[in-house]
Structure 1
Amino acid sequence: MITVELEDADVERILARLSASLSDMSEVMNEIGEQLEFETVKRFEDGVAPDGTSWAPKSPTTIAAYERRGQTVDVRPLFGPNVDGQPLRSSFFRDYGPDFVELGTNKIYSAVMQFGAAKGAFGTDARGGSIPWGNIPARPFLGISDQDRLNIAAIVEEWLEDIVED
């Protein structure tokens, strides 16, 4: 076995900074979260899933339902009237800590929009109508795209370079 012992003050200082930084990566996690939120909002505006596929269009039945209620119709999927008046696209939040980043929304209907739901998946209403009243296609808006992976790698690389160069 060969042992190499480094006795270089500059190298020791760099390794100490690296070790200290890796124990609390809040700064880089915040940057990753900001980037993921930016890309998620952009994908939302573009109407595409993290894998780049376009969302299913809003159905003619849904558009007709809005019109019957006298609501303004936005034909883009996931845009339009909602229960609380706050659009899904503006409800994103992020959190981060020493070793995590989280991006999401607290809208109760967001899981149905992300994963879809079959007609009647949630039972029936008081009049016996299906909840939801029709099939809702999945329109994934949360997730990590190939571009997100590249962005995260670049953010981490720059963060590590800053630690070593200080």
Structure 2
Amino acid sequence: MSVIKINDQALIDRLELVASRLSDTSPLAAAIAGTFATVTDDNFDMGGRPAWAGRKLSTIKIYERKGLKYGGVLHLSGDLRARVVTSHTQDEAVISNNMPYAAAMHFGIKQGDSGKTTRGAPIPFGDIPARPYMPMDTDGNMQTEAEQEVFLDVDHYWHKIFNP
């Protein structure tokens, strides 16, 4: 599991203040988890932010041989996007994906890092570049767009506390 790091100090300060004033922070955590899902959907819609590396010509040719249509990067079946789930507790907002290849798509993976086939070929057969689709980069830093949206969630609760 990766932890998303927030780098925006104003967001950190506001989040700590709001959390200290709320008797039940689970609605805020639920809002943040929802924001994570929305930002992730936006990342898929935008083809990554920053833009994902395209598929190699060799991969596209394999798809053609198998009769698969190229629907864009990370859009072949829609399963990766569909299996993004969120949850929350009073103290945390969580976003995850249980597809077997989810981490490899987000963080990238080198040829052979997942072992070999029964015939001895490397898995994967070539390097797969990182295509961060979750609301964090490959170092765990919260994506700028996610920080902005989470700030709006926290700001909503800030105003609720101080301007009832």
Q: TM-score band (shorter)?
A: 0.7 to 0.9
TM-score (norm 2): 0.78
Contact 1:120/1:133, CA 8 A, preserved across alignment: yes
Question: How many Å apart are 1:134 and its aligned residue?
Answer: 1.0
- Give, in whole Å, the separation in 2 of the partners of 1:19 and 1:127: 55
Give the SS at the match of 2:147: helix
**Which residue is 1:45 aligned to?**
45
Structure 1 segment 1-166 matched on structure 2, within 5 A:
22-48=22-48, 52-74=49-71, 76-81=72-77, 87-142=79-134, 143=136, 144-166=142-164
Question: How many Å apart are 1:42 and its aligned residue?
Answer: 0.8
Give the SS at the match of 2:103: helix
- Give, in whole Å, the separation in 2 of the partners of 1:34 and 1:46: 18
How well do the aligned residues superpose, as a CA RMSD in angstroms?
1.9
Pick closer, same or farther for the CA change 1:19–1:93 going to 2, 3 Å. Answer: closer
- Give, in whole Å, the separation in 2 of the partners of 1:154 and 1:123: 44
Q: Relative contact order (alpha carbons < 8 A, sep ≥ 6): 1 or 2 greater? A: 2
**Which residue is 2:10 aligned to?**
none
Pick closer, same or farther for the CA change 1:133–1:26 going to 2, 3 Å. Answer: same
Deviation per CA, 1:101-122: give whole Å up to 9, x if none. Answer: 0011111100100111111112
Contact 1:37/1:103, CA 8 A, preserved across alignment: yes
Deviation per CA, 1:132-164: give whole Å up to 9, x if none. Answer: 111111111111322221221221121122133
Question: How many Å apart are 1:57 and its aligned residue?
Answer: 0.1
Q: Any unmatched runs of 5+ in structure 1?
A: 1-17
Deviation per CA, 1:49-73: give whole Å up to 9, x if none. Answer: xxx3211001111111111112223
Pick closer, same or farther for the CA change 1:67–1:78 going to 2, 3 Å. Answer: same
Give the SS at the match of 1:123: coil
Question: How many Å apart are 1:95 and its aligned residue?
Answer: 0.4
Q: Any unmatched runs of 5+ in structure 2?
A: 1-17, 137-141
Larger radius of gyration: 1
Contact 2:19/2:25, CA 8 A, preserved across alignment: no
Deviation per CA, 1:7-60: give whole Å up to 9, x if none. Answer: xxxxxxxxxxx8886342000111111112111111112111xxx321100111
**Which residue is 1:14 aligned to?**
none
- Give, in whole Å, the separation in 1 of the partners of 2:73 and 2:80: 11
TM-score (norm 1): 0.77
